Structure 1
């Protein structure tokens, strides 16, 4: 087995390299066989919220380039309806005030990650949305992407193919398009 990986954060790349895993530069990688990652929330339709670690834009790019994405999570991440977790949005610093104002219309509260001092590996800010409406995640994703200055968000609508959820030592598999076990 020859394992090569694409890391979605600089910290993950450093950890993988330290373990002897060959890390490919995603800029030179057009396709990925498999993405395995966690989630902040995931529902029964395999719609997920990701980005607590701040790498949601890179994670989405890699997941979209992947033939298959699998989420591994504990039972606390499995929800009937999304919306309890904060929804991270990656924002160009140049457009911060404008974007914050627009995001404020889509949620109860916009929080600047790290008090505004946090930067993603891309050099962008993260706005964490609290009290966002999860009734139509696709509509919300479209509204977020329509704001100039938003470069990504943590809603994963179709990227997740399967999820393995552990609750009290029992692992349940959720599979898109198949009967769940």
Structure 2
């Protein structure tokens, strides 16, 4: 299946969600939940919180699917933005973590398998190589926005540029990264 076919299928599923098609919503969840959960987990850094957040994100998607406009953005980018924004909202309202380590629950080792670690390492190396092709301030902004969860406003302030300039930096940088990764 080509990337374009996948994008078109996800766009179609979103359009069917607007019509309250539960089967389409289930299919959308099956196709995209792993990616969105990864985004939430990376930003929230707490598995239980990310598991709760993924449910809330899909409720938002169900009720806001009509806000997706095919052609303006890829459907997966729109879904990631919904998840990212939800995670940032959670971070803004998060209370300080409890200092009592004994209160932590015993959790099974979430470490990935050696095969997954190797694949991730190779992907990470490709991404780092492509980030290295960007100007350092642009690469720092991309890392801040998409790896560390900073808002556009925080990044604009940090780099002392207007908000719209930061948005332009990020959009153009993502296009360059996409081209580099596709090469």
TM-score (norm. length: structure 2): 0.27
Q: Which has the higher contact order (CA 8 A, sep 6+)?
A: 1
Structure showing the higher helix proportion among its residues: 2
**Higher Cα radius of gyration:** 2
Q: Greater share of strand residues, 1 or 2? A: 1
The normalised TM-score by structure 1 is 0.27
